[in-house]
């Protein structure tokens, strides 16, 4: 347990050095490019895939490492001069899991999407397209989907893939023994899945998943939902080999058999993870021979300059140098547009003192995010006052949020039942980490709470996998250093998944019956504009209830990419993309 109290002025002086260290810790930007910081809608910035969670480590939120979006300066993999062969080298972190049905963080998801795949996928332009299914049709007023699998599909070990494999995989994801925290979120619309999730008797067969024949799978959902197909792009819906899982036992992911463009060739915890081309992949084979992920840690920028890795984010201390046209690295500099994520401090509204809306509002009004953004982080972060990130479907800009106001902060504190410091419960904010200082913004926020309100909070660091486990089980009183990265481009992935009272990703146990009714109406609203209006109404009410302190939206950043790396694209969501990368040297 670590409680840190430093004056804001001192923290400002520390910012440059701290940002530099954090920005290069992971060799990527935020989201999928930042392996150490992420759970997913999955979980945590380490925000999050299902909304994948990603962990907001220093290299993520406060530093401007490269987010993920299209990199236009690198030739596309389909160009005539693309060639096969070569190795891409990345700095990464140990993934909490390689089981697609358990994935809830971006560190894991970014690797899992390269090894496994599903019926449909999002491409680099975030367009939905068939993957292992060559086509699909809808009927029953939008409740029945029939998928036709591609002919001669094979797992990476050469065994055939059939519709029965998909049925088994989805039911396995839902089974309580799999311990998936996201199966209900992403598969719960399918008739019969929730009965399996809730362990009702010996139910293992979902009536809404039917094998018509070896190449035809029929899925029936409980109501017409415009975003359902997009949900199937999440790893929970990916196909796994029953033989591989059952014969491999608890350690089956050490030698996983998948259908993605790559296969796992080697994994040594804390040392390296190696992906190799899957020669049984159904489509055009990956151009790279291998992708080497260095898991041993290190200073990303130094490793890049020593030619140990091929991609890195650029932190505040290095950006002026690499932007100088006289600097040799300048030619390798890439501007990376923002991704679809939001970082936040969450409150468990079922635990004192966060069960009091007035106390939560007081803490929100006491945070001067604009001051932190400009004076501590040099303008490299964008203050967040709502939930949906700018540019995301449904974003309106109409959510003003609870802006800094010290007078209102004190007023709401006095209204709360925890105004008396002597009787106020101890406050502990848990963040992911294994030593050293927690994320700088959390330190500044807790300092503002104490200076403005006299509210003291301790900061506790726990290891990432443990953090995710405690988060999913709602054990934490307050939680920070994380965020949420969209899994698919629909506001349902934020507003519904994170705030509906029954959602497993509602880690703060927030409950508002009015919000539940609004998002339930939005689920089946066919008119996109009406759906977006419903989500906007819900977002405004959520912000007023203050279950979070929204902190930052992603902003444009910078990355360095070696000149021999071709076809690499930065994307605002996690999508399989390494297949299109090639090495020109």
The model's pLDDT over 247-256, given as tens digits with 9 standing for 90+, comes to 999 999 999 9
Q: Rounded to an integer, what distance in angstroms lies between the CA atom of residue 323 and that of residue 59? A: 19
pLDDT for res 398 = 87
pLDDT for res 35 = 40
Band (25; pLDDT cuts 50, 70, 90): very low
For residue 120, the cross-strand partners are 130
pLDDT for res 437 = 66
137 and 232, same domain (yes or no) = yes
3-class secondary-structure state, position 316: helix
Distance from the first to the final alpha carbon of the chain: 49
Q: Final residue of a domain: which of 210, 233, 248? A: 248
pLDDT for res 383 = 96
Which range is least confidently modeled, 47-56, 120-129, 418-427, 463-472? 47-56
pLDDT for res 24 = 24
Domains in the chain, number: 2
* Mean pLDDT value across residues 322-336: 96
Is 60 exceeded by the pLDDT of residue 69?
no
146 and 225, same domain (yes or no) = yes
278 and 239, same domain (yes or no) = no
Alpha helix ranges (H) inside 147-190: 163-174, 183-187
> Longest C-alpha distance within the chain, in Å?
71
pLDDT for res 96 = 94
175 and 283, same domain (yes or no) = no
261 and 217, same domain (yes or no) = no
pLDDT for res 80 = 62
Residue 168: inside a domain: yes
Q: Final residue of a domain: which of 198, 233, 248? A: 248
3-class secondary-structure state, position 470: helix
267 and 312, same domain (yes or no) = yes
Residue 6: inside a domain: no
Is 80 exceeded by the pLDDT of residue 202?
no
327 and 235, same domain (yes or no) = no
Band (376; pLDDT cuts 50, 70, 90): confident
Q: What is the DSSP string of 421-462?
A: TTTSPP-EEEEE-SSS---HHHHHHHHHHHHHH----EEEEE
Which range is least confidently modeled, 13-22, 361-370, 565-574? 13-22
pLDDT for res 14 = 41
pLDDT for res 492 = 97
- H or E stretch including 14? helix 8-23
Is 80 exceeded by the pLDDT of residue 42?
no
Q: What is the pTM of this model?
A: 0.85
Which range is least confidently modeled, 193-207, 234-248, 474-488? 193-207
Question: Range of 168's domain?
Answer: 117-248
* Mean pLDDT value across residues 270-278: 98
Residue 111: inside a domain: no
In the chain, % of residues over pLDDT 90 = 77
Half-sphere exposure of 177 (CA within 13 A, CB side): 9
Asked if 186 and 192 count as a contact pair (C-beta separation under 8 A), the reply is no
The model's pLDDT over 86-141, given as tens digits with 9 standing for 90+, comes to 999 999 999 999 999 999 999 999 999 999 999 999 998 899 999 999 999 999 99
190 and 306, same domain (yes or no) = no
227 and 273, same domain (yes or no) = no
233 and 292, same domain (yes or no) = no
Query: Could you tell me the CATH number of the domain that includes residue 167?
Result: 3.90.76.10
Q: Rounded to an integer, what distance in angstroms lies between the CA atom of residue 161 and that of residue 286? A: 20
Residue 534: inside a domain: no
Residue 76: inside a domain: yes
Is 50 exceeded by the pLDDT of residue 72?
no
Alpha helix ranges (H) inside 228-368: 228-231, 242-248, 300-305, 316-323, 357-365
Q: Rounded to an integer, what distance in angstroms lies between the CA atom of residue 19 and that of residue 352? A: 33
Q: Rounded to an integer, what distance in angstroms lies between the CA atom of residue 357 and that of residue 546? A: 7
Q: Final residue of a domain: which of 248, 270, 295? A: 248
* Mean pLDDT value across residues 189-195: 96
Is 70 exceeded by the pLDDT of residue 189?
yes
Band (53; pLDDT cuts 50, 70, 90): low
- Average pLDDT score over the chain: 87
* Nearest to 562, CA basis, from 576, 583, 546: 583
Residue 405: inside a domain: no
Residue 311: inside a domain: yes
Residue 286: inside a domain: yes
The model's pLDDT over 255-265, given as tens digits with 9 standing for 90+, comes to 999 999 999 99
144 and 224, same domain (yes or no) = yes
The model's pLDDT over 381-434, given as tens digits with 9 standing for 90+, comes to 899 999 999 999 999 888 989 999 999 999 999 999 999 999 999 999 999 987
Q: What is the DSSP string of 245-267?
A: HHHHGGGGGGS----SSEEEEEE
* Nearest to 462, CA basis, from 475, 449, 452: 475
Is 60 exceeded by the pLDDT of residue 341?
yes
135 and 186, same domain (yes or no) = yes
pLDDT for res 76 = 42
């Amino acid at each position: 347990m670590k409680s840190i109290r430093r004056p804001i002025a001192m923290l400002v002086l520390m910012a440059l050095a701290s940002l530099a260290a954090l920005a290069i810790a992971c060799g990527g930007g935020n989201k999928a490019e930042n392996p150490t910081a992420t759970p997913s809608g999955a979980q945590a910035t380490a925000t999050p895939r299902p909304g994948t969670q990603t962990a907001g480590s220093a290299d993520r939120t406060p530093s401007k490492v490269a987010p993920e979006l299209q990199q236009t300066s690198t030739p596309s993999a389909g160009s005539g001069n693309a060639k096969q062969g070569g190795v891409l080298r990345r700095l990464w972190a140990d993934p909490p899991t390689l089981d697609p049905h358990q994935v809830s963080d971006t560190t894991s998801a970014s690797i899992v999407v390269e090894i496994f795949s599903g019926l449909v996928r999002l491409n680099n332009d975030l367009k939905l397209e068939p993957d292992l299914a060559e086509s699909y049709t809808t009927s029953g007023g939008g409740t029945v989907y029939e998928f036709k699998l591609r002919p001669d599909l094979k797992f990476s070990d050469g065994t055939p893939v059939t519709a029965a494999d998909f049925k088994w995989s989805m039911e396995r994801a839902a089974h309580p023994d799999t311990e998936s925290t996201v199966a209900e979120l992403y598969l719960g619309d399918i008739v019969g899945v929730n009965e399996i999730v809730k362990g009702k008797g010996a139910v293992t067969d979902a009536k809404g998943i039917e094998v018509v024949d070896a190449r035809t799978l029929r899925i029936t959902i409980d109501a017409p939902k415009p975003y359902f197909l997009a949900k199937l792009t999440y790893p929970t819906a990916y196909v796994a080999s029953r033989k591989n899982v059952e014969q491999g036992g608890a350690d089956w992911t050490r030698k996983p058999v998948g259908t993605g463009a790559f296969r796992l060739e080697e994994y040594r915890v804390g040392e390296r993870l190696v992906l190799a081309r899957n020669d049984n992949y159904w489509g055009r084979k990956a151009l790279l021979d291998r992708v080497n992920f260095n898991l041993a840690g290190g200073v990303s920028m130094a490793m890049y300059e020593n030619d140990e890795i091929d991609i890195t984010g650029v932190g505040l201390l290095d950006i002026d140098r690499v932007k100088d046209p006289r600097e040799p690295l300048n030619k390798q500099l890439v501007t990376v547009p923002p991704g679809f994520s939001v970082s936040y401090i969450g409150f468990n509204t079922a635990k004192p003192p966060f069960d009091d809306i007035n106390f939560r509002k007081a803490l929100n009004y006491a945070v001067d995010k604009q001051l932190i953004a400009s004076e501590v982080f040099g303008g490299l972060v964008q203050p967040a006052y709502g939930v949906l990130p700018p540019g995301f479907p449904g974003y309106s800009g109409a959510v003003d949020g609870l802006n800094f106001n010290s007078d209102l902060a004190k007023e709401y504190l006095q209204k709360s039942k925890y105004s008396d410091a002597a009787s106020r419960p101890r406050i502990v904010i848990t963040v992911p980490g294994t030593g050293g200082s927690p994320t700088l913004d959390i330190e500044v926020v807790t300092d503002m709470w104490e200076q403005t309100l006299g509210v003291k909070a301790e900061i506790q660091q726990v290891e990432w996998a443990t953090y995710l486990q405690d988060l999913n089980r709602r054990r934490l009183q307050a939680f920070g250093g994380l965020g949420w990265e969209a899994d698919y481009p629909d506001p349902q992935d934020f507003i519904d998944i994170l705030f509906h009272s029954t959602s497993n990703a509602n880690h703060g146990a927030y409950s508002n019956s009015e919000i539940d009714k609004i998002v339930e109406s939005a689920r089946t609203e066919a008119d996109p504009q009406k759906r977006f209006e419903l989500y906007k109404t819900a977002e405004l009410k959520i912000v007023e209830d203050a279950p979070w302190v929204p902190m930052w939206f992603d902003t444009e950043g910078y990355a360095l990419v070696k000149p021999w790396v071709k076809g690499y694209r930065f994307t605002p969501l996690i999508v399989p993309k390494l297949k299109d990368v090639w090495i020109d040297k």
